[in-house]
Every structure is written in C-alpha cells, then in structure tokens.
Chain A
Amino acid sequence: MTRTLKIERWIRFSARVLAVSIALAGLIDPAITSTRRSNAIVAVVAIDPLRDSASATRVAASLATRMRVVPARFPRADASVIVGDGVPLDQEGIVSPTFAVAPDTVAPSVRIVALDAPNDASLHASIPVGADVRVRRAAGRSLTVALRVRGVLVDTVSLAVRSTDTLFHVTLHASPTERGIVQLRVSAALDDRALSAAPANAGTASAQALAPRTGLRADADAALFVRDEPWPVLVYDPRPSWMSTFVRRALEQDARFTVTSRVVTSRDISIATGAAPARLDLASTLDAFAAIVVGAPELLTTRDVAGLEAFLRRRGGSVILLLDQRASGPVAQLMGVPVLNGRALGAPMRVGPGGSDTWLRASELAWPQSLPAEATALATVRASEPDSARRTDDRALVGRVVIWRTAVGAGQLVVSGALDAWRFRDVESSTFDRYWQALVASAASSAPPPLIVSIAATVLRPEETTEVLVSERSRVLQDGATGAQARSSLAAATIESDTGAISHRDAVRLWPDGAPGTYRATIRAPAAIGPARVVVHLDDLVGNVSFVVSPTAERVTPERADLQRAWITAHKGSIVTESQLETLADKLLQRVQVAPRRERWYPMRSPWWLIPLVAALSAEWWLRRRRGLA
C-alpha cells in the first residue's frame, strides 16, 4: 500500500514538474541554431497582380507540398517563379533560377505585335504600313487585316492561317488625300464579322462598343503627318551628262521634288534652273538642299569634293554620284573606293535590288574592287532572262554591286556604276524613272531638318503623357574641332490643339538631354480630342511634330512570349504552361541546389506542446482528486 502511494505520489510529482517545465520553456521560448539541409524556398511572383493573382495562388498551392513557398519577391529564395505573360518590369528581388508559368492559350487569338508606319510622308506617294500580326490557335481559319484612314477602309489583306502559332507580316498601303495629320487604324480579325463590326467612324466610343475585344480582333493606331512640301534637290553637272540629264528629268516629273540644277557647258558658262549655287565648295549654299545629284563626278575639283563632304558630315545630307565613265580624280577619295573596275557588256544586263519591282538595265558597268566599309549594296547585277546566251565573262558579273550606299558622317553617299543606264530607260526595258525617283526620295528623306522634333507616341489618349525629343542639327552634327563653343540655349515648346472652336495651348520646358543639342520633355496630351502638335522654339529655329488625341487609341501589343523566353533562358529557368503545372516542382528541384544552411529554430513554438501540458496537468489533478486532496 505504501509502495502504491509512493508510486502515485511520484507520478503526481512528475506530472506537475512536466507541466511546469513545459510552461516555463514556453515562456522562455529558447532558440536553437543548427546547420541542416532544409526544403527549397521558392518565391512566386505574379507579373500583373490584378490579372495573374489567381494563377499565382494555384502555382503556390501546387508547390507547397514539396518546398517552402513565399508568395512575393524574396531575395533569399532558392528560386523564383513568375506567373503570367511577359517579363516583370521591376526585376529587383527576383532571384535565379527563374521559372515562368504562362497561361494556357486555348481560345483563338490575334494580336498586332508591331506596327511600322512612317511618322510623316509625302502627299504624292503611296505609303506602306507594315503590321506584324500574331495568330494563335486558329489553324484553318482566315485572317483579315484592314487599314482604315480617318475611318475609311482603304486596304485589306486576307490570309489563310495554317498553323497554331503564326506570325504574319502584312504590308498595307494608304494613299493620303490631303495634307495634315491623319489617324491610321490597322485591324486584324479572325472573323470577318468582327472586322465588319467597325463602322466608318471607327475610333469613336460607339465603334468600340460595337467591336468588343473578344480576342478575335485586334486594333492598333498610328498617326501620319502628310506633307506637301517637296524635297529640295540639287542636280549639278560639271559637264553635260546624259545620265544626269535623264535622272533630272525623272525627278522633275515627280511632285515630291523641287529640282534645282546647274549644268556647266563650258568654262564659266552654265545653264542653271532656280537658285542653283555656282559652286559646290561653299557648304552654306548647299544647306538648303536635302540631296545633291552629281553627274560626271570625275570632273569635280578638290574644293567641290570638300564642299560635298562638308554637306554630308555637317548637314547630314545625301549625295548621289552618277558615273558615266570610270571615275577618277578627287571624287575617288570621297567614294572611299580607290579602284573601280569597268566593262562594256555584249548585251545590257539587269541591275537592281533583289526582290524589288524596280530595276535598271545597263551595258556598261563600273563596280568597286572592294566595297567601302559599312557600305550597303543598293543594286547588283541580276541574272536575267537570256543569260544562257550571254558571254561567259558577262555572266561572271552577276552579283556585282553596281550601286551602293555608304555613310559619310551623318550623311549618305550613293554611287551609281550603271554607266549607260540612261540608254535603256524605255518603260519596256527598265523602270528607270521609278528607280531613281525612289532612290533619291529615300536619300532626301534621310536628311534631317534643322530642328528635329520627335514624339514617342503619335496617338495619345486625352491627358496621357509621352516624351518629346528635340535635336538641333547644327549642334548634334558639329565636330569637336569646329563646335567647341558651348551655347546655352533656352528651349521651350508649346502644345497646341485646334479642334474647331476649341483652341488650346500649353507651354512646356525642354531640358538638355545628355548629348549637346538634344533636349527632352514630358508632355501631357490635351483633353480635347483631335489633332494637336508640339511646336518647339529654339533660338530662331522652329520645329514641330503632330499627334492625334483619341479616347479610343489602341496600341500594339508587343510580342512578349519571345522576350519572356529569352529572359527566362537567361535566368537558367524554363517556361511551363498552367496545364503543365505538375511538372514545375520536379523542374525546380532539378535546378535548385539547396545548400546546408545554419538555421535558428524555436521548438517551444509548436502547438503540439499543448497535448503533454494538458495531459500532465489532467493526470496530476485526477490523482489528487482520487486521494481526496482536491
């Protein structure tokens, strides 16, 4: 009996001690530090919290059983998983390796990922507008891409979709009808009805309501400034040249050019049209021209060549040298081609750019022994119809560069070695006029104006902000020797909108932007809908750029899949879709190297301690009650 009491007392004491010990340990909350290999820590980040949070929760739940998941950016994580389509703008706190969980694309979709439209164009030309359209999950359907100018459909292209993921490059054409800024809208639709749902006044709120964003249709807007001002072009011939004469006549027929010419017919005697400068060695007289076409360039003097080089480097203009015999003399230095090969062919051969519908024909050719550095081939000798009947040495010329372009400073120098192309200018044998019109137009358009004003987006929503960049040509192109003098100009811009009765004007300060002569400003679009422009005043220079304010402006949706793929690959990860989520944990564990780490842990923070605590207290109380002590 005594022995039983002793045992019972000992048990009661032990239970009491155990309970008190647990309570004390809980109060003390001791921390224990140890080195051990624990579960990997993975940070799960939603790229767009509003859109991707649900997916992120599903991803976290699928990983939680095999690793520790932190549902936020965590620099100490072993890996990161981004959820969504694209790349996070802020990449701080996202550690490598990084995996991505992309949403499944199950429904057909179409997106305009890029739009290539010029900011300004001539009224007298047809304007190509390129669009890259990504179509997914729509094999067997047809894609219709349409271009609207001021709400009127002007061009459509229909294409058959043959694979599940296709990127189409479509070129549409617009023909402007009046000068000023016009809004272009490119629409791509997998369903003709979706496209036809856009009424003529597309771009308005009602139009948007009629054409809901179902994924079967995508729109992108651009603005185009149509100008009627021709490019000033100077044609200068040190002696009469058939080649130059007929190129000049081709340009004179094109309303995009104002041609000024001077043909030196004898010593101190010349025929000039307009205000043609007497010489080429005075750079200031050449500044008014965007391009200079030179015939018989072998007769240019050293001073003429120096003037042309100054025009190229300081004006940023374009010079086109039309050889009609193998050039020598000072101009060879400007061309950067010490040796020109030449040959008279047995029969004229076709000369032109590959894949183009414009070409020349020539029977006397000159080509450089080696192309100048950074030169671009504009026309090569093409294999043409009766090549089998040609002389062997003529056939060997196929592929030779006959017309090339090279950069000289900020300007462009074009050299033509199609010596007698003028002889084959009949429309039946070549596109002589169209070729030279296009080439000179391209050269003249690249010549910058005195004040270059550009805007990041040409179609803005009301009160949307964008950036304006201003470059002062003379300061940007000044070289170190001549432009040493610093100048502190005060640049300012005004934003003007004129939509009928409402006229609005805001002043904006332009701030220097690193390089000399460049300024930058952030502008806010007017609230008034319609055309607007930024007018920049810099000393006595005035420049402007136009844009359109539209409440329904649509932008391209950049191609994010490729960017994401590249970014994830660079971060040693891979992409899985939501339907492949069960494979993500395995891929993570294969990639993640979890190193043993020293960890501090708190054993008393486990709720399981409540069980022995309650059990000990209950046993102790029960034993005392049994003995009548409680």
Chain B
Amino acid sequence: VTEPAFEECRAFFTRASRRLTVLAVARGVAAGLAVGAILLIILLPALPWRDSNALALVTAVIAIAIGATVALVRGASVRVQPARTIERLAPQCRNVLVTAEELMRSSLHPWHSEHATPSMVTSERRSPVAERASAYIEALVLGHAAHLCARLDLGELLPARRTALALGASVMLFAISSSRRTSPSLHVADALALAIPATIARVDDVTATIASPAYAALPTQSLQNPNRIDALQGSRITLRIHSNADSVAIQTLQGTRTLTPSARNEFSVSVPADLDGFVGIQPLATGRSADVRRLIALTVIPDAAPAVRISVPARDVHLKDTHATLTVAVEATDDIALASMTLRYTKVSGSGERFSFADGEVPLVVTRASARTWSARAVWSLEALALAPGDMVVYRAIASDRRPGAAPRESDSFIADIAAPGSEAIAGFSIDPDQERYAVSQQMVVLKTERLIAKRAQMLPDSALLASQELAAEQRKVRAEFVFMMGGEVADAPDPSASMTDLNEEAEAEGEADIAAGRMANQGRIALMKAIRFMSRAATLLTTAELSAALTSEKAAVVQLEQAFSRQRIILRALSEREQLDLARRLSGTLTDAHSERREPTVATESAMILGLRRALADVAAIARSHASPQRASTECTTLAESILRLDPSRRPVQAAAARMSDAAIAFAEEHDLLARAALDRTATMLSSLLRDQLPLSTEGDGAATASRALDAHRLSGAIGDALNRAAPSASSASSASSKPRE
C-alpha cells in the first residue's frame, strides 16, 4: 500500500466524516428547536410560570440536547463509513471509494482502528475481500481513490447552506414562541376573531372619560370597563365603546338613545353627570344575536357647600366702650376649592322703637393653606363704626366656592354689643326684673275689666275710677308691645318727655284709611292694626271709667289678635294634616256636644325599598331554580340588574348587588353555569343583607320549642309565680329585697 495514497484517502474520509457529523448535529439541533417551539406554542399559555425566561432557556437546552443526541445516534453508521455517502452523492466514483475504504479497514490501519468498533474490526478481518485482495490491487485501488479524493469537493458534495437555514429558522421560531408578548398562541384567538366574522354582537371594551366641570379644575379621569362611575356633579362622562354591533343603545334614567358607529366598531356618547343612575349599553345588530347589556352604575357626587366658622372669639362679646378692638379669626373649608371669604357685619343702633341698621364688611387677611382650606384673621377696630352705648354689631363670615351660581354659605352670627349705662349688672345684683317680665296680655285686661265691673257696685266711685285708670295704663302697655312688634310705624307721641305708652292717636288714625282701603293688604297686619285700634279705644274709655264700652273694645281687640296670630298664618303651618287642630272646636262648643268617635285603623305600609328588595330577591331565587336556556336566564339577569339599580342608584350596596347580577348575566351568556350560580348566590346574599337592614329582627318565641311545649312552660312558670307570690307578701314585707336582676 502506497503510503501517500492511503494518507490522502484517510484525510479525505476523516474530513467527510467530520462534516457529516457537524451537519447531522446541526440538523438535529434545528429539529429539536423546532419541536421545542411547537411545544411552547401549544403549552405556554397554560403554564403557570410562562412569564419566566428560565422556561425558554431550559426548553432550548433540552431541545438542543435531544436533537443533537438523536442526530448523532442516527448518523453513527454514516460517519463511520463516509465513503458510501460520498459514492451516493458522486456516482462517478464507481465504488472505488467504498472499495478503498474497505481495503483500508481490512489493513487495520490506525485510521480504521480509531473509528471502527471492535465488533466491526473482528468481522472485517474475516472479510473475503480483504483476504482475496493482493497488495497490487490494494495499491491500485487506493491510488484511484486518492485521485478521486483529490478531485472531489466536500463542500459541493455535502452542502451546509440548507442546514444552516434550517437551523436559523428554528432558532428564530423558538425565540418567537418563547416570548410571551409575541407568542402566536396567545394571539390565535385574536387572529381567529379577525379572520372569522363574529356572530354575536357584543361590547368588547368601554372606556369612560370623566371630565370634571371647569371650575373644579380636576384632572380628567379615565376608566376601562368600569362597573361603577363616581363623578362630580356637572361632570361630563364620555363613553367610548368598542363593539362589533351595528348600533348600540344607551339606556339611562332619562331614556334610551341609539348610537351609530363613529368609526369602525367604535361608538361614542357623552352623558352628563347630573343625577344618580346608571348607564346601560346594549349592543344591537340585525340578523345577529346580541350579547347581554352592560350595566354601569353612576354615582353623582354633589359639590358640597363650603363650611365656614368664626373660630375666634366664637361667642357673643359685651364691650364696655366704643373704642374696643375685636380680633376675629375665620376658618373655611370646601371639598373642591374656595372662591371667596368675607366678614360682614350689621350695625344696629338706636333704641325703643327706632332702630337703624347699617351693613358693612371687615377687611380680612386671608391665608390659603390649600385651595380647599382657607383661614383669615381681622383686627377690627369698632371705633370707626361710631357706635353709641347700647348699640350692637352682628357679624358673620361668608364663604363661597367656585361652583357657578352657588349660594355663599354663612357662619353662625355673633354679637358684639356696647353696654348701655346701668344695664350692666354689678356683681351681687341682678338686672331689673321688669325687663324680663312679660307684658300683661290682652286677655288679662279683659279679665280684669270683667272683675272690676263685677266689683264696681261695692266700690266707691273714686276707687272705681282709679282702678279703671290703672287698667287703662295696662291696656296702653299691652298696646305698646304690639306697636313695637309692628316696627314702630305708628308714630310716637311728639312730646319726648311723655311716656312711651302715650301714643299719638291721631297719627295712627290717619293711617287707618290706608289699612281699610287695602293698600296694606295683609290680613295679619290688618287684624293687628285693628286690634291696636280697639286697644286705643279701650284705653280711652277706661280712662273715663266707661267700663262696659271698654270691655267691648277689649274683646274686639282679642278677636282681632286671634285672627292675626292664628289660622293658617302661624300655627297650622307647623302641623301635619293628621295633627291639625279642629278650629271649629277651639275655645268653642259645649261639653254636651262632645261624643265618642270611631276611626279606621291605620294600616302599615312597607317602603318601596323593602318591596323592591323582596321582589328582587324572589326573582333571583326564581332564576336560580329555573331551567331556562342560558340566553333567557342572561336576559332575565340583565333586566333584574337594572331593576335592582333603580331601587337606589346612589347606594353602594345596591350598586354592588346590581354589578353581581350583571356578572351572572355575562356568565349565563357565556354558558358558565357554575360562575353564573355563584354570582346569583352573591347577589342574593347582598340583597338579603340589604333587606335585613330594612326589616325589624324577628324575636318571636323560642324557635326550638314547639308551641305546645311553650304553652306548657308558660303555664308552669305562671303556676310557680302564683305559688311564690302567695307566699311572698310576708317575706317581702320583712325584707327589702333588691330589684336588681337575677343573673
């Protein structure tokens, strides 16, 4: 055997075997990665740890290992005998390479010994080819083989391009499939949904954008598929609905309107947030069935009025002189934002029946801790108001928020008054009790006049006259009270030294024409003026001791006073219809006319809330028990959800119950029976809880005992009580037992 030919052939076969091995491994890796990618596509969505990158790494390692191993095992024979593969790819070699390989193997050349297994070596040793071949032929064959090997190009015979492409494709496929964001499996449904026309009109997504009123300056809020929307009153809610329906019906408490798509599968509607309620979104389609209605509870949060209070001095103050300075602190808060804060006062000056009022404003130093919380302080010198002793200042803080048209809110009013000379009590002395004494009533004047008439026969004329004049004084006093009540329009007497009870009758009489003509058309006022007039006449008559005539005027004054202060003017407005006084019987009638009366018993009626909750709970039970089709059950659930929400749209538990009912409707529509029944259970539990809050708790007897046993127990208890009570008197008289309960 020529050594160069042998070496050339050996080198060629070695290179061929190595290239075959590399290509086989590459193909195995590609196949493994491809299988791994397919497994990931199928299984990845179902795996709980699909988000982990380690899963993809482990899968890749396993796929590469298995693919390479399988390739190596399958290609073992090919690698050991590469000549057969080359002969198949290059037929022009006419089996020279195969013969050369066999001859080389039979010669137990080190090359062969490196690659052949012991069993092969043993079998080849007994090969008849080897036995027959002579050295010449061997040299000839190897020479031809070496010549062929030199001409053959392994790159052409065993191209790597396809294998490299396959490997690259597999790597890319695996990379794509192992990514959770781009995993095709996760988008299969989407792709199908796009490819296959939908048969059910449904609402896929609802985006609610809540734009608060401009004055609130709140950021726009966006909610995705909300069950409930809480919005400030005056907000604008824009719903963007993604649906494959032909049109969408929007249902609110105000009514229903139908939307047409503004773009492909896009609907838009704007809903004002002015009242609590709900928004129902019903997809509509012709020729197709529609999905369940989506229900969104709407809670409108009113803009609360600001709260303002005077924190310092927060009480009425009595000032000794007019030069005092008052420190006032004001605090105000609002749920959105405050707009203004002022301190206003009313100066009240004058006395008797002449008061004057002057309004003004005190400058404040305002500190804005935030838009919602303000505080202010004022050091208020009262000297500028030119107050006189006995005057007073009534002051209050006023705050307003930014809501347009909102009425400002006032704080409690406090008084600062300047003490009048002598009105301040000295320690140890009380204020003149006459100031607290109530005036003698007109009825009392009548009574005293009647008594005086009764006693007149036994009295001396002078005494009767004196008593009558005293009554006249009292009558004027009563009259003065009512004149003051009328605001002092009746002019006082011109003589300033005269008593305040000495009134100018003429000036009053001048105004009588206006009253009688109806120019001061106020029944109460007319009656009161007439009463005053009758009182004046009575006072005049009493002065001259004309008691009978005076009594007539006095009684006429009483009648006018009753008309002025009774009827619908004052008293009856504060009474409900049921408790209305029977005026026909007031201070009238005779005892003999009194009689028994029989009325119809009052029938208690339950509130609409209780009735509605009870009906809803019964409906939930009916749906749970029914064997209706899922679609029908879904429709019933949707209707019921709306009914529940209508009970009280602003109440959170009611909203939650309606939301659960909507969940049941969706679950029924998707034929998830267990989910639907679970949602029904939750709805029923919520409704029952709401109903329980409205109803009294039953405390009826002992539930475990039957009525017969309870009756026996009561009888026994009664008998024991009777027996003990019969024995008790002596014992109880002897001992002062406590009435503390026996535990």
Residues on A lying within 8 angstroms of B by beta carbon are 114, 116-122, 124-130, 149-156, 173-175, 177-178, 196, 199-201, 252-261, 266, 268-274, 313, 316, 336, 338, 341, 367-375, 377, 380, 399-401, 406-412, 434, 437-438, 441-442, 445-446, 448-449, 452-456, 469-471, 473, 476-477, 518
Contact = CB atoms under 8 A, between A and B. Distances in A.
Contacts of B711: 316, 410, 448, 452, 471, 473, 476-477
Nearest to B597: A271
A126 B696 contact: yes
B54 interface: no
Contacts of A370: 732, 735-739
Nearest to B617: A177
B685 A126 contact: no
Nearest to B735: A370
Contacts of B685: 153-156
Contacts of B741: 371, 377, 380, 399, 401
B703 A152 contact: no
B717 interface: yes
A269 B594 contact: yes
Interface centre among B680, B717, B728, B736, by most A CB within 10 Å? B717
8 contacts: A121-B700, A124-B695, A125-B698, A173-B697, A260-B601, A401-B741, A438-B696, A454-B706
Interface in B663-703: 674, 677-678, 680-682, 684-685, 688-689, 691-692, 695-701, 703
Given A173-B688, A259-B602, A446-B714, A400 B700 contact: no
Interface residues of B, number: 69
Interface of B is mostly: helix
B704 A116 contact: yes
Contact of A119 (B602, B604, B706): B706
B323 interface: no
Given A151-B625, A175-B692, A118 B700 contact: yes
A402 B685 CA distance: 38
B402 to A, nearest CB: 34
A452 B709 CA distance: 10
A128 to B, nearest CB: 7
A435 to B, nearest CB: 10
Contacts of B739: 341, 367-371, 400-401
B487 to A, nearest CB: 37
B691 A126 contact: yes
A54 B161 CA distance: 78
B590 to A, nearest CB: 13
Interface centre among A336, A406, A434, A518, by most B CB within 10 Å? A336
B614 A177 contact: yes
Interface centre among A129, A130, A380, A471, by most B CB within 10 Å? A471
A446 B719 CA distance: 17
B61 interface: no
B720 A273 contact: no
B156 interface: no
B394 to A, nearest CB: 30
B162 interface: no
B707 interface: yes
Across the A-B interface, give the 10 residue pairs with the lowest CB-CB distance, nearest first: A373-B724, A377-B741, A454-B706, A370-B737, A200-B624, A445-B700, A374-B721, A153-B681, A125-B698, A407-B718
B697 A438 contact: yes
A477 B715 contact: yes
B689 A155 contact: yes
A338 to B, nearest CB: 7
A121 B698 contact: yes
Given A200-B681, A380-B741, A408-B718, 9 more contacts: A118-B701, A150-B621, A154-B684, A177-B618, A273-B602, A369-B737, A412-B714, A445-B699, A477-B711
A154 B594 contact: no
B625 A116 contact: no
A593 to B, nearest CB: 43
A255 B601 contact: no
Contacts of B594: 266, 269
A149 B624 CA distance: 11
A174 B701 contact: no
Contacts of A199: 674, 677
B624 A151 contact: yes
A128 B685 CA distance: 15
A434 B718 contact: no
B351 interface: no
B695 A272 contact: no
Nearest to A173: B692
B600 interface: yes
Contact of A200 (B595, B677, B701, B707): B677
A359 B732 CA distance: 30
A243 B203 CA distance: 60
B731 to A, nearest CB: 9
A175 B725 contact: no
Contacts of A257: 604
Contacts of B519: none
A336 B600 CA distance: 36
B599 interface: yes
A272 B708 contact: no
Contacts of B455: none
Interface in B600-653: 600-602, 604-606, 614-615, 617-618, 620-621, 624-625
Contacts of A252: 601-602, 604
A117 B599 contact: no
B742 interface: yes
B271 to A, nearest CB: 34
Interface centre among A407, A441, A477, A518, by most B CB within 10 Å? A407
Contacts of B689: 155
A115 B697 CA distance: 18
A199 B689 CA distance: 20
B16 to A, nearest CB: 65
B688 A174 contact: yes
A177 B691 CA distance: 10
Contacts of B605: 255
B684 A153 contact: yes
Contacts of A410: 711, 714-715, 718
A253 to B, nearest CB: 5
Contacts of B700: 118, 120-122, 125, 441-442, 445
A259 to B, nearest CB: 6
Contacts of A448: 707, 710-711
Interface string B326-364: 000000000000000000000000000000000000000
Nearest to B724: A373
A448 B691 CA distance: 29
B621 A377 contact: no
A374 B724 contact: yes
Contacts of A373: 720-721, 723-725, 728
Interface centre among B598, B682, B698, B737, by most A CB within 10 Å? B698
B596 interface: yes
Contact of B698 (A118, A201, A369, A476): A118
B601 A437 contact: no
B740 interface: yes
Contact of B699 (A120, A130, A441): A441
Nearest to B723: A373
A507 to B, nearest CB: 22
A150 B739 CA distance: 47
A574 to B, nearest CB: 31
A473 B715 CA distance: 12
Contacts of B722: 408-409
Contacts of A341: 739
Nearest to B600: A273
A374 B714 CA distance: 11
Nearest to B710: A446
B654 to A, nearest CB: 15
Given A150-B621, A152-B684, A441 B698 contact: yes
A110 B604 CA distance: 44
Nearest to B718: A407
A254 B697 CA distance: 12
